[in-house]
Chain A
Amino acid sequence: DAGITQSPRHKVTETGTPVTLRCHQTENHRYMYWYRQDPGHGLRLIHYSYGVKDTDKGEVSDGYSVSRSKTEDFLLTLESATSSQTSVYFCAISAGLDYGYTFGSGTRLTVV
């Protein structure tokens, strides 16, 4: 049992369409994060959440929104997908500063 699952694992979508990625945890951790990973860049923070309905922007938040209505779910939405949002998206969870991170398996999103 991984404790964190991402869905879908792969998605191809057309430019201009909305897309929602889901991160689900069973660990009851307070912190949840969305990152994107692109060649030539390290993982970059899109948005994070420090509690239900408490979210904040990360380094590359433009074009993305998030919601966390329950402790276990953190949704990432691309309101109108663009080709520059083709990437691998990782969700991560953490219980706090003194604890490590657990990463999801990633979602490979292709915007055509």
Chain B
Amino acid sequence: KNEVEQSPQNLTAQEGEFITINCSYSVGISALHWLQQHPGGGIVSLFMLSSGKKKHGRLIATINIQEKHSSLHITASHPRDSAVYICAAWAGQGNLIFGKGTKLSVKP
């Protein structure tokens, strides 16, 4: 049983669409991370949040601690957004628990 679940596993969108990726976790956490892994394999940290909402450009991340749920939204999606998006829950003492990722493909 994975303590961090993401949905959907795969997502195909047309350029310009609004995209939502969901993350649910069962552990008590101090913070939640959203990461982006490009087709070349590199991993980039997008957000770290412990409450509320954060926005960076076209990306918005929200978290509801009570419901143990976080969402990553991409507005006006673009083919360059195609990547695997990973959420990870910080459960303390160096322990980041990762979801399996959501593979996003944005078609022009």
Binding site for B on A (CB under 8 A): 31, 33, 40-45, 48, 50, 56, 58, 88, 90, 92, 97, 99-103, 105-106
B98 at the interface (CB under 8 A from A): yes
Which residue on A lies nearest to B96, using beta carbons? Answer: A45
> Which B residues are in CB contact (< 8 Å) with A43?
86, 88, 96, 98
> Which A residues are in CB contact (< 8 Å) with B108?
none
- Distance in angstroms between the alpha carbons of A13 and B33 in the assembled complex: 34
Candidates B48, B95, B99; contact of A42 at CB < 8 Å? B99
Binding site for A on B (CB under 8 A): 2, 4, 30-31, 33, 35, 41-45, 48, 86, 88, 90, 93-101
The binding surface of chain A is classed by DSSP as: strand
**Contact assessment for B42 and A103 in the assembled complex, using a CB-CB cutoff below 8 Å:** yes
Candidates A42, A45, A58, A90; contact of B4 at CB < 8 Å? A42
- Distance in angstroms between the alpha carbons of A71 and B88 in the assembled complex: 25
- Contact (A106, B42) CB under 8 Å given A97-B30, A100-B33: yes
Candidates B45, B86, B100; contact of A40 at CB < 8 Å? B100
- Distance in angstroms between the alpha carbons of A42 and B5 in the assembled complex: 10
Q: Which 10 A-B pairs have the closest CB atoms?
A: A42-B98, A103-B43, A48-B94, A100-B45, A43-B98, A42-B100, A100-B48, A101-B45, A106-B41, A42-B99
> Which A residues are in CB contact (< 8 Å) with B2?
42
> Which A residues are in CB contact (< 8 Å) with B101?
42
- Distance in angstroms between the alpha carbons of A111 and B101 in the assembled complex: 25
> Which B residues are in CB contact (< 8 Å) with A42?
2, 4, 86, 88, 97-101
- Distance in angstroms between the alpha carbons of A93 and B31 in the assembled complex: 16
Which residue on A lies nearest to B3, using beta carbons? Answer: A42
Given contacts A44-B98, A58-B95, 7 further A-B contacts (CB under 8 A): A33-B94, A33-B96, A42-B98, A45-B96, A99-B48, A101-B35, A101-B48
- Contact (A102, B45) CB under 8 Å given A42-B101, A44-B98: yes
